[in-house]
Amino acid sequence: MKRPTILVLGAGYGGLTTVVNLQKSLGADDANIVLINKNEYHYESTWLHEAAAGTMSPESVRYDIKDVINSNKVKFVQAEVQAIDVTGKVVTTNVGTHTYDYLVISLGFEGETFGIPGLDKYALSMANVKAARQIREHIEYQFATWSTEEVKDDSRLTIVVGGAGFTGIEFLGELGNRVPELCKEFDVPQEKVRVLCVEAAPMVLPGFDPELVDYAVRHLNSKGIEFSIGTPVVEATPEGVNIKKGEDVFEFVKAGTVVWAAGVRGNRLIEETGIENMRARVKVDKDLRAPGYSDVFIVGDCALMINEAVNRPFPPTAQIAMQQGDMCANNIIALMKGEPTSDFTPDLKGSVCSLGDSDAIGVVFGKKVTGTKASFMKKMIDNRALFMIGGLGLTLKKGKFNLLK
């Protein structure tokens, strides 16, 4: 019997966990494992808000893929996936094509701007490490320019964050720490800086406990961050955003920086596969396979699973992506052995939303936590992801150990 080829697309939390588990369980002769990724590095997409705010270097947010894969068992190909043909079983990249016996689609999320005019062009996003880095540089450039220009345009120092969900709030938390540093670094009086969060929904952090949400908003307010809730962004322009404050009531907010953190979707390539999807997310079978395709697994942000307890999709998190990666590797091995696959059930250990370096809110193992304790838990969660994929070595190299700051 010929060795099967397992092709994994994307080295995010889901794809990399799949590969790491496959290389643990399979011998070098059991399968051809091929991992394709656009960059030679994995990045911590849950840390991007730190790189974007400038509280962490972009370099700290990523690590080389070759540091965590066993090159005797896994072939890494740096390439950009251009098309996925699930009927012909061929994946096309910018440097060649690949066939497969088992395919794992773990291509991650893209930003979603919901067709709001101008956002694609004039708002920055935290979609990847390069985009996050651009946000940091953009903000620094605005501050540097303000401090040198003769006629000061104070709107350069206004940062509008679209979205008060998890990403938006974590980014605001970092900005709360970063703005005083920026003011010092660039000789800007802090009262000139405005950070405004605009959210279309009538609430901050939907799905979070109201008491914790209240804590978060008070914390961010105390750092000077303003909220405008229930006010959709209707347009972005080179000068700022137009927001809808009520029936026929609009306000233009002039802002040097607009960051859009309000929506994610699956990878657009999914939409061209013919597999049924909603915004490029596929409602996968219980064993994580694409409906109707016995050799195609989908894990991570491109997989949609309904949480039947609340009849809503599970959020696209690193925690679930990594658990799916474990299960995906198990199920591929089961198929190789002719054994039945297992069903995936997320094991939700909790969720912690950072509010900056020394504060956070969350629910961990069913308990509400805030403040230093929550911040500590958050860093432990971040370190745990490193440990699960790269072991102790990677954790020591890239982990967060300013735990009691």
**Side-by-side strand order, sheet with 102-105:** 74-78, 32-37, 5-9, 102-105, 296-298
By C-beta, is 136 or 379 nearer to its own copies? 136
Catalytic position from the list 44, 50, 170, 199: 170
Comparing CB distances to its own copies, the nearer of 42 and 98 is 42
Cβ distance to its own copies smaller for residue 59 or 191: 59
Min dist. Cβ of residue 165 to its own copies (A): 22
Shortest gap between Cβ of 38 and its own copies (angstroms)? 11
**Minimum gap (Å) between residue 110 Cβ and its own copies:** 12
By beta-carbon proximity to its own copies, the closer residue of 57 and 342 is 57
Instruction: Output the smallest distance, CB 130 to its own copies, in A.
Output: 4
Minimum CB distance to its own copies, residue 216 (Å): 29
236: phi then psi, degrees, rounded to nearest 5: -115, 145
Nearer Cβ to its own copies (184/367): 184
The smaller minimum CB distance to its own copies, of residues 131 and 348, is found at 131
Residue ranges binding its own copies (CB under 8 A): 39, 58-59, 128, 130-131, 133-134, 136-138, 140-141, 143-145, 147-148, 185-187
Q: Report how far residue 71's alpha carbon sits from residue 64's, in angstroms, rounded to the nearest whole number.
A: 13
User: Token digits for 170?
Assistant: 């974590």
Q: Does 170 participate in catalysis according to the annotation?
A: yes
- Cα-Cα-Cα-Cα torsion 245, 156, 134, 49, nearest 10 degrees, comes to -50
What residues contact 188, with CB distance under 8 A and at least 6 apart? Answer: 143, 146, 147, 157, 182
Q: Least distance from C-beta 67 to its own copies, angstroms? A: 17
Active site residues: 170
